[in-house]
Amino acid sequence: MPRQLTTILGLAAALCLAAAGADAEEKERKRRQELVPRFSGPEIVEKLKAGGNVLLIRHMTTLRSPDQWGGVDYDDCATQRVLSDLGKEQARDLGQAFRNLEIPVGRVVVSPYCRCRETAELAFGKPGEESETLSVWDELEMEEKTARGTEIRKMLDTPPEPGTNTVLVTHTGNLLWSFGLDAKPEGLTHVFKPTGLSIGRATYLGRVDPDEWRTLGGLGQPDPSVAEPAAADETP
């Protein structure tokens, strides 16, 4: 084969590989959330200790059983997917980590679902104020989902009482529809710094996974008797 043709074929192959790599990188970029964390765990802790932030938390780890088909009764946890033993331990660990780190918590707002109310109660000693905005959105029309996403962005942009942090406990869809945030694993915490204008432009500080709170709070190793539940399906 002539050297010139070999070179051309080699360049063509290299261009194809580069294009394939660029496509893969673009797909990966779209898969990830658009907001880029500004701080890591220990740095986020320092921000939280100073107060003035809003935390958006997905409820802790749940059992695999789904919510009742045909509708959930907020007052009847038997109709809902609920926290597993691991999820309950994670919620307690979150609260203990906050106390150990002296992170001040003021207002706590939750979805009316039992798994969100229990996450808040085990972590912060109170079930929190219920908000339908933070509830499950699966059956809503696109227009209403978009409207609720806007409302959550405003909640994240509303400053807490001086010297405290506001906590919002919610579900997968609300993380996705507010800022396209990562929603896994269950118990994930996203932290925002409000502008104070309540216009939905809070600054994204970063994330803390549920198990990371144990390390940050100096809680040691988890209880080995508390087993991880079976992998959850794609539920809120």
Q: What is the pLDDT of residue 50?
A: 97
45, burial (CB in 10 Å: exposed 0-12, middle 13-18, buried 19+): buried
Q: What is the pLDDT of residue 143?
A: 82
Confidence of residue 73 (pLDDT cuts 50, 70, 90): confident
Candidates 223, 236, 235, 233; CA nearest to 90 is 223
pTM over 0.75: yes
Say which CATH topology domain 41-216 has: Rossmann fold (3.40.50)
* Lowest mean pLDDT segment, chosen from 61-70, 106-115, 132-141, 221-230: 221-230
φ/ψ (deg, to 5) at 106: -105, -105
Q: What is the 3-state secondary structure (H, E, C) of 99-115?
A: HHHCCCEEEEEECCCHH
Q: What is the pLDDT of residue 181?
A: 87
Bigger pLDDT: 68 vs 198: 198
CA atoms within 13 A on the CB side of 211: 7
Confidence of residue 228 (pLDDT cuts 50, 70, 90): low
Bigger pLDDT: 180 vs 120: 120
Confidence of residue 121 (pLDDT cuts 50, 70, 90): very high
Name residues whose C-beta falls within 8 Å of residue 179's C-beta, 6 or more positions apart in sequence: 33, 34, 35, 153, 156, 190, 204
Q: Which residue ranges make up each domain of the chain?
A: 1-31, 41-216
pLDDT tens digit sequence for 19-69: 555 455 544 444 456 788 999 899 999 999 999 999 999 999 999 877 776
